[in-house]
A and B are shown apart, each in its own frame.
Chain A
């Protein structure tokens, strides 16, 4: 344990640290929204965000100023989520009450889509499709950015978003929405395999 570590990155100045913290603070609401979409339960989502903030803070030397703090922290949150999911923390968790509370009926539509239905349908998607749709359809990331965050090819993201959209459209059109999120073993396995790839390679792509 030495204070001066010549091999490491140069320590950030107080100004840089303050700037990092300001940016980190700014993305907290987005981290909460992404986490809520991923795991459904607000309390668990917030735990996940807190974990993410601590990890981001510890890794701040690896953040490249000027790059997207939101994308960088989403990668950390995503990895924390996958690790937790691997430990079965989020299996089959869904809080019926949450979606009901945020129910709003959009004005001027004949048959409004209930957000609670949408939310429930979203949580039934395979995790990697849900994640892709959240990033692109809710978070407003480009396909390229989403691919960077997930550590996969742009085409893979496009395909996942397309399948997620098709599944949601089908479920909402037919009112065919399962009551609870499903435990899709195949999907879990797929996403965990992907995690291994990310862990083995360079998940946080903030460095060149």
Chain B
């Protein structure tokens, strides 16, 4: 359990990293490095207008009911 703390050991656990392992990271990073589309900037700007305690823009958060009590505990 303690031996695989970080991502580098994920590869080590399997012996050596397959040759495509870098490619997987590249695929992921290529999206991370993309410029954020305006639609996201707009959405982020709009969030402040939504009161998280009351507003439920789309059918809401996971396992939390609109009155904030939710299903759990």
Contacts and interface: CB of A to CB of B under 8 A. Distances in A.
A162 to B, nearest CB: 6
A99 to B, nearest CB: 9
Contacts of A178: none
Contact of A33 (B4, B31, B58): B31
A119 B31 contact: no
A65 interface: no
A5 B43 contact: no
Contact of B30 (A3, A25, A102): A102
Contacts, number: 160
A195 B57 CA distance: 23
Given A118-B20, A118-B27, A143-B10, A32 B32 contact: yes
Q: Is the interface of B mostly helix, strand, loop or mixed?
A: loop
A203 B61 CA distance: 12
Contacts of A25: 44
B20 A172 contact: yes
Given A33-B31, A140-B7, A55 B62 contact: yes
A53 B61 CA distance: 10
B22 A21 contact: no
A21 B48 contact: yes
Q: Is the interface of A mostly helix, strand, loop or mixed?
A: helix
Contacts of A176: none
A15 to B, nearest CB: 14
A3 B19 CA distance: 56
Interface of A: 1-3, 5, 7-9, 11-12, 21, 24-25, 28-30, 32-34, 36-37, 46, 49-51, 53-62, 75-76, 79, 102, 104, 106, 109, 113, 115, 118-119, 122, 133-134, 136-144, 154, 158, 161-162, 165, 168-169, 172, 199, 202-204
Given A5-B69, A122-B24, A138-B28, 8 more contacts: A54-B58, A61-B52, A76-B62, A102-B27, A118-B27, A139-B28, A141-B7, A169-B18
